[in-house]
Structure 1
């Protein structure tokens, strides 16, 4: 084989390796940037979660809403205190759900972090949402459907998911994989 053929083969191989390496690093960088976006969105939305007022509304929705109010009038028929708590809490979770539906937030991350709370809120509001959908008539079936989907995903996630993830991370660290 003459030296020019060998040279061409070697340069072509180097070019292929360079392209493959660029593609791999580009994909990794894109994935890292996407995770960075998820983290900043989560931090921003969880700021509300630290407020005492939010927890007061959350407690009202999960503990008192159904006991003190009849779902027959739907959401709009709730008295002021109940409606204020409902909107504060439910639309907070609906914001997360919408971001997850449109791929701007990793739904597994979201559901892992807020699983128990998502489920307790959905259980408390479900009769009110069902009635509100009826009252809204055609097209009303979409009312809070993103939050409903988020609750469905949360229900499918095993209760021990967080502990399992922590154990998995520890195992990886012990093996030096992270």
Structure 2
């Protein structure tokens, strides 16, 4: 009788351990799913912002004005730009800074952000860089910190990585005629 009791106890322990393992796996899976959902909500909010007419107009203006032959002198930095261009640069650059901060903090994968905003991320960075560089020199002289380091982080990745390499991270189908 004692051996039967031992078998029942061993089976009970095995069932309990199995239930514990399933519970732990389930909890881990639910946590991962909740994290993905939160990230997707955040990304969706940024997508909504960048698709507004106001943002798109500001982005086009920043690239066109700062890359034109008649662009303002970068020596004054971003603060030296005339209005409304200065506000547009801050709006657009701030948007990419916020995205970059999410990347730097590990909240959103870098390849995802760069894939979504690849073209304009590169164009805006190249347009604002001469002005940002002067702005940083001015801020450093005042011991006032720096500006847009996270924007720079994702911009450098976008500038140094061909889109085809970033696209390889996604499982996607392509149309062949």
1:94 paired to 2:97 = yes
Q: Residues 34-53 of structure 1: matches in 2 within 5 Å?
A: 34-53=35-54
Aligned to 2:136: 133
Q: TM-score, normalised by structure 1?
A: 0.83
What residue ranges of structure 1 are gaps of 5+ in the alignment?
Answer: 171-178
Paired positions, count: 170
Q: Go from structure 1 to structure 2 and tell me whether the alpha carbon gap of 1:157 and 1:32 turns closer, same or farther (over 3 Å shift).
A: farther
Deviation at 1:69, TM superposition (A): 1.5
What residue ranges of structure 2 are gaps of 5+ in the alignment?
Answer: none
Structure 1 segments, 4+ long, off by >6 Å, are none
Q: TM-score, normalised by structure 2?
A: 0.84
Q: Go from structure 1 to structure 2 and tell me whether the alpha carbon gap of 1:155 and 1:20 turns closer, same or farther (over 3 Å shift).
A: farther
Q: Go from structure 1 to structure 2 and tell me whether the alpha carbon gap of 1:156 and 1:37 turns closer, same or farther (over 3 Å shift).
A: farther
Q: Residues 1-178 of structure 1: matches in 2 within 5 Å?
A: 2-67=3-68, 68-137=71-140, 139=143, 142-161=146-165, 163-165=167-169, 168-169=171-172
- Partners in 1 of 2:102 and 2:172 — Cα distance? 26
Deviation at 1:136, TM superposition (A): 0.9
What is the alpha-carbon root mean square deviation over aligned residues?
Answer: 2.3
Deviation at 1:35, TM superposition (A): 0.8
Q: Go from structure 1 to structure 2 and tell me whether the alpha carbon gap of 1:113 and 1:130 turns closer, same or farther (over 3 Å shift).
A: same
Deviations 1:48-93 (A, max 9, x none): 2122221111112222213312211111011112202201211111
Aligned to 1:174: none
